[in-house]
Structure 1
Amino acid sequence: MPPPPISGEIRRAAMKRLALLAVPALLLLSLSFLLLRPTSPPLLPSIPDHRRRLSVYVADLPRALNHGLLDLYWSLPHPDSRIPASSDPDHPPPRGGHPPYPASPLIRQYSAEYWLLASLLRPSAPASAVMRVVADWREADVVFVPFFATLSAEMELGWGATKGAFRRKEGNADYRRQREVLDRVTAHPAWRRSGGRDHIFVLTDPMAMWHVRAEIAPAILLVVDFGGWYKLDSKSAGSNSSNMIQHTQVSLLKDIIVPYTHLLPTLHLSENMDRPTLLYFKGAKHRHRGGLVREKLWDLMVNEPDVVMEEGFPNATGREQSIKGMRTSEFCLHPAGDTPSSCRLFDAVASLCIPVIVSDDIELPFEGMIDYTEFSIFVSVGNAMRPKWLMNYLRNITKQQRDEFRRNLARVQHIFEYENSHHSEDGAVHYIWKKIHQKLPMIQEAVTREMRKPEGASIPLRCHCT
């Protein structure tokens, strides 16, 4: 066979060289196209940088709905109708200076609303290490609603025109305030953008915002527990064959459990003395709902040696009794009352009295950030109801174990401090903002779903299983 023409070989060699040169040329052309094309938002939002501070917009509400309520409270002409006049520490009111948050134990235990707003009004406070206040709602991650909902509810409960009128709307000053807050907040474009899913309401009192809870259910609720939703949850549990409680307004996924404000002074570890009493409890024996466990426990333990079970109200006398009882006892009993939790737990922490929490499903603040099993004893309701079981269990805890629990209590005391905690990087206010910041990806996801919802769509509230 004759050799192929030289021109054919040259042509094939040239084509090979062109093919080799075409690869980098195409790569260069693709890169140029990417660099020169107009920018557009990514299909997927970027993952939030947890080193970035939380941006907070404070909703524009009149002073009458927050600090103005303190002026109104201190101007009330007579004491709280729910307690004896001699037991109300706030009437007559103090003189001079800015009106403080009430000292009445019925109200002070829920004072988170006051301290959180204080942290937002002081941009140089240590809480600013985790959050910052922005003037433009479009730059905000969350919107804080500065309504003193607890103080508003408590004034209606203690000074309302008619006893039992709280659940009625007519003549109810608290309802009027709730309605004003909601009308103002929902009229703002920030609410319309997110459906309220990035708005924060502080509802530490079980009765706070009671009349409008269904309307603010999508929002981030700061609560001490879910006890204020007991009736709604019970109705849900009774309407289905499973044991599931279908929360439609509150969820550990979107909401934040915050501490009560403790009412007893803090005892430092260096001040700790002998504790001759094994177990201490002070409070009402007869309660409702989950508090029936408390009544049964009382009957089981009231005659046990080394156990003190006292009834009483947290007035001046009761306060001194509680200080003495908690500081001289190894363990402090914490059964449910009208609500699953109470400030008694945080009084025990402040007193270095090891909490004994009798509950199957209590919600606690800052879980995932602190480990309660390092300084608390958890007992199921079933075991606590067995005669002698709890006492035998506590007596078998060694002194070495008790000392370790107490050292751990001392290490977490500051985490539950509200007063002046907006000046501290490790107090309750700081931890609340950190907890909200942790939920930011979930909040942003909920807002994204809300923004793409078709006009006219109606989506029912769903159970959030936790």
Structure 2
Amino acid sequence: MLMILCMPSKPTEPHNNFNSYNTNKPMPVISKNNNNNASSSVPKLFLFFTFLSILSLAFFFFPTTTITTTTIAHPSLSLQSSLEPTINVYVADLPRSLNYGLLDRYWAFSPSDSRLGSDSDRGIRSSNLGIKTLEIPPYPENPLIKQYSAEYWILGDLMTPPQHRTGSFAKRVFDPRNAHVIFVPFFATLSAEMQLGMAKGAFRKKVGNEDYKRQRQVIDFLKKTESWKRSGGRDHVFVLTDPVAMWHVKDEISPAILLVVDFGGWYRHDSKSSNCSSTDTDMIQHTQVSVLKDVIVPYTHLLPRLHLSENKERHNILYFKGAKHRRRGGLIREKLWDLLVNESGVIMEEGFPNATGREQSIRGMRASEFCLHPAGDTPTSCRLFDAIQSLCIPVIISDNIELPFEGMVDYLEFSVFVAVSDALKPSWLVNHLKSFSKEQKDRFRQNMAQVQPIFVYDNGHPGGIGPIPLDGAVNHIWKKVHQKLPMIKEAIIREKRKPPGVSVPRRCHCT
């Protein structure tokens, strides 16, 4: 029986292993000593099989719980396993004018509006005359637009030839019937930003609004497809990194899987359109934004990565740069500003993310132990991801915030969370931050350095066409979508079995 336990079995080939090409390599030779005579080899074989038998019994009676515990304790360090399945993605056949064609139009502009005419983009327009002939133009460097560039990098990965996509968690399929999800390649954020830059006054109107025409074109096209009819759009994926993206058709796409930076652009809309009560909190429907079906994605960081080996002594306790006055939930920012602006070791700078502001932010974040992250117009901003890339410990002032890749990343390992009520007490926040020891702050930065790549979209290839890093933002987004699939499938089946004429009452997502 012992010999049966220790006999080596044929290794099982992992399902959908990205590195399956390695399985064709010849098996390694266990012993290379072919000069030993038969009499000397027998004891060695006996000892070898005896050792394997003991090892097998040890595994049988003493499970390897230590290894499992270590993996669970550090989810942020567990990136891509070769045993993970892929997610099959079909790219909806939208015209080029709704994605890369929008970039053609953007680079053809000579705008004066600050949203479209930043110094960095003016430089690209003037120095790169051949940009108009590129099949896939670059995404704008204008920080107001670049922070929302997830749509560009996700599509770039899907457009990459299959032989260069061996590291991608998403497998592109060319028959929608073979797909788990349908990706909608509409640059919704760029469309919205271009409208805001060209004719802001028409943004909330339908007449004279080019962005609305594009939104309508997308929805009208999708609703005619068999894929949409089959699922009601529930298995379709939209990238909506700007809270105002696809604003006019929110009701029509709300059953879909939405990739959003937070839910801040949806709460007020939903609370007005449905009589929300406390009894609805555990009855979230697929007609509302929800962590059950939607995915929180990171903003694109605007500051360069600081490696742990490059970290230098930090002289400031706390740093913040941004607009003092915000709307809605961001009103707390003004109160915090007044409390902190005169505190010793605290730097509060008001500024715009132009070229000068960028350099100030780099210096400020790299010279400070902690970086303040209060809510703006919505709960999150790209400032959090700039802080992570700068190894500046984020101080998140929020009672209710959704963060990217929860469950994959443990933010407590490198961030400080503070209740709004505590933050608004005079001197409380600074005294709290001073209580952290050097060892604690060093550990925060070490953990932060481990997760920096997870929040990076740029794969270093022109147009985003090329292999992506295994541990980057695009792969982690598709992993989160993959986690939603059982709920999406259940919702589709439940919808199909409803008798004709029966509708589910609309409920809001209260938090």
Question: Shorter-normalised TM-score: what interval?
Answer: 0.7 to 0.9
In structure 2, C-alpha distance between the alignment counterparts of 1:115 and 1:62, rounded to whole Å: 18
**Structure 1 residue 238 displacement after superposition:** 8.1
Which structure has the larger Rg?
1
1:169 equivalent in structure 2: 206
Q: CA RMSD in A?
A: 2.1
Bigger mean CA deviation after superposition, 124-133 or 207-216 = 124-133
- Name the structure 1 match of 2:269: 232
**1:72 lines up with 2:118 in the alignment:** no
Q: Aligned partners of 2:91, 2:450: CA distance in 1, in Å? A: 33
* Alignment partners' CA distance in 1, 2:424 and 2:400: 16
> Shift of residue 135 of structure 1?
1.2
SS of aligned partner of 2:488: helix
Aligned in 2, Cα 1:340/1:149: closer, same or farther, shift over 3 Å? same
SS of the residue corresponding to residue 264 of structure 1 reads coil
Name the SS for the 2:407 alignment partner: coil
- Give TM-score, length-normalised by structure 2: 0.77
Q: Distance in 2 between matches of 1:190 and 1:343?
A: 34
CA separation of 1:127 and 1:157: change in aligned 2, threshold 3 A: farther
Residue number among 480, 483, 493 corresponding to 1:448 in the alignment:
493
Partner Cα distance (1:465, 1:235) in 2: 12
Query: Is 1:426 aligned with 2:463?
Result: no
Letter in 2 for 1:441: P
> Given that residues 79 and 88 in structure 1 are in contact (C-alpha distance below 8 angstroms), is that contact kept between their aligned partners in structure 2?
no
* Residue 96 of structure 1: aligned partner: 130
**Structure 1 residue 81 displacement after superposition:** 4.6
- Report the residue type matching 1:66 in the other structure: N
Q: Quick one: distance in 2 between partners of 1:287 and 1:454?
A: 47
Give the counterpart letter for 2:171 in structure 1.
Answer: R
Counterpart of 2:93 in structure 1 is 60
Q: 1:388 to 1:261 in 2, by over 3 A?
A: same
* Alignment counterpart, residue 392 of structure 2, candidates 350, 353, 371: 353
- How far apart are residue 245 of structure 1 and its match? 11
What's the offset of the Cα at 1:442? 1.1
> What secondary structure is seen at the aligned counterpart in 2 of 1:55?
strand
> Where do 5+ consecutive residues of structure 2 fail to align?
1-82, 461-466
* CA distance in 1 between partners of 2:501 and 2:167 (Å): 40
Counterpart among 129, 144, 152 of residue 191 in structure 2: 152
Q: Which residue in the other structure is 2:57 paired with?
A: none
Residue 126 of structure 1 and its aligned partner are, at CA, apart by 4.6
Distance 1:72 1:380, change over 3 A: same
> Aligned partners of 1:316 and 1:268: how far apart in 2?
22
Mapped contact 1:354–1:405 kept (Cα < 8 A): yes
Q: Distance in 1 between matches of 2:119 and 2:245?
A: 21
Q: What is the letter of the counterpart of residue 103 of structure 1?
A: E
Q: Give the alignment partner of residue 255 of structure 2, picking from 203, 215, 218.
A: 218
Instruction: Report SS of the residue matched to 1:197.
Output: coil
CA contact (8 A) 2:115 2:193 kept: no
* TM-score normalised by the chain length of structure 1: 0.85
Q: Show the counterpart of 2:452.
A: 413
**Structure 1 unmatched runs, 5+:** 1-49
The amino acid across from 1:184 in the alignment is: F
User: Is the Cα contact below 8 Å between 1:119 and 1:125 reproduced in 2?
Assistant: no
Provide the secondary structure at the position in 2 that maps to 1:206.
coil
Q: Distance in 1 between matches of 2:166 and 2:306?
A: 25
Partner residue of 2:227?
190
Cα distance in structure 2, aligned partners of 1:449 and 1:243: 19
User: For residues 272 and 506 of structure 2, what CA distance do their matches in structure 1 show?
Assistant: 15
Asked if 1 retains the 8 angstrom alpha-carbon contact of 2:176 and 2:227, the reply is yes
2:245 alignment counterpart: 208
Q: Is the 8 A contact 2:280 2:508 kept in 1?
A: no
Change (3 A) 1:64 1:127: farther
Q: Write out aligned runs for 1:89-128 (5 A).
A: 89-91=120-122, 93=125, 94-97=128-131, 98=134, 99-122=137-160, 123-126=162-165
The equivalent position to 1:257 in structure 2, one of 285, 296, 301, is: 296
